[in-house]
Structure 1
Amino acid sequence: MLHVLAVDDERPALEELAYLLRRDSRIRQVSCADDASSALRDLSRMLVEGERLDAVFLDVRMPGLDGLDFTRLLTAFAEPPHVVFVTAHDDCAVIAYELGALDYLLKPVRPERLAESVRRVAVAAERAGPPEDARDPEDEMIPVELGGRTRLVSRRSVTHVEAKGDYVRLHTPEGGYLVRMPLSALTKRWEAAGFIRIHRSTLVASAHVTELRFDGGRAAVQIGDELLQVSRRHTREVRDRLVRKFHRPEEATPPTENTPNNN
């Protein structure tokens, strides 16, 4: 069963498209967005929460980020959904197919023509590889709003993440970005990529940790110029994971009287 996202800045057109999609028995869920920027944020949230999105049905010409630019941005995702354009403009079909669109429908949409597009999505989804959780972790691109524009931030550039109420702040060498998503979901999603929870409100990328410090039973990690405190609850896990990261077999020495032997 498919999960699809309908995107159109005109409310009547969006409601009609969603209605027709929900009538198709091959579709289990239809999500909606009234512009491409919102669609990018929804897609990012779904990826973080481990939710699969099979296809996006969207208009071409919308205020701000249009459908073509949205499709170009999708190439930055490890596993982008398929794209079906639903538009009143017939002059962008060539560009749409060059960008990898699965289909191009003209408004008003005929139900039988939409059903054919859904069939193509179903076939493409069936041919897709194993679920993302079964694959090696890859970089992800997180869409963020910056000055009225949508920017994609690479997960690899994120040094640490802080919870801010219903939002999280992604810290990168270039600056911080607020994104509406729960830290708990991000922790679960990014754990395989080397992110470690060091506090109930802090997640760090082990690749960016340069030092692990202990002082009076308390721990802290150094990331760039920042020293981030580790909560007592998370100290053991942080220590175990980071010690493995920093450990070099050639540096190992036999245990001495002053070095506990844990074997």
Structure 2
Amino acid sequence: MKVLIVDDEPPARDRLRELLGRLPDHEPCGEAGNGADALRLAANLQPDIVLLDIQMPGLDGLEIARRLATLPHPPALIFVTAYSEHALDAFDTHAVAYLLKPVRLERLEQALISASRLNRAQLTSLTAEREETGRTHLRARLGQRLELIPLADVYYFQADQKYVVVRHRHGEALIEETLKTLERELGNRVIRTHRNALAMVAQIAGLEKTTDESTRLIFQEIPDRLEVSRRHLPAVRKCLKLL
């Protein structure tokens, strides 16, 4: 995978180049210290991935990211910065990952693997798909990293104090959005099963009764069971009849 490094600080570029040299499946194809050079190199070199700082003179990283998204073959974006407060804005530009400096090799490698999962066709259609069908990914915090989880991989959401746990195809993750916000934004793609839980309708396999006469939702592909409250049971049954 070809990687373009964009950072206005030479030591930061040196560090990223050195880390990439230790990862056999990725190689730097160019470096830029400002936005104009970054856009020119991206258009000419067509990198698969761009490692992008946010705070730079002239065009900042967020604006660069928005312009890169308009290229005929947009690269996957990984933000590398010292400032965590830009994380949500970064993911609004469809960044694949967000790394805080100083970057560690294992975190960079994980982010590059995530970026490599997206082929060029997926990257090209990501913005258009979001405009047409609504959100396609969730922003999840994994330690100090933030990553994108495709909604197509999500089974259900469950509130846990001030966070929401997302159960997805590859495990669990925490997000900082509320169930109410998710329910409003995702609309009929989710169904409320309990005051503390939402299920993705496309992933539901059916209902089952337990020995204590409570009702549980069962899912395709995973053994998890999600409680359905008496209050929400009629709506869930009606939803399943329409599937």
TM-score with structure 2 setting the length: 0.48
- Higher Rg of the two aligned structures: 1
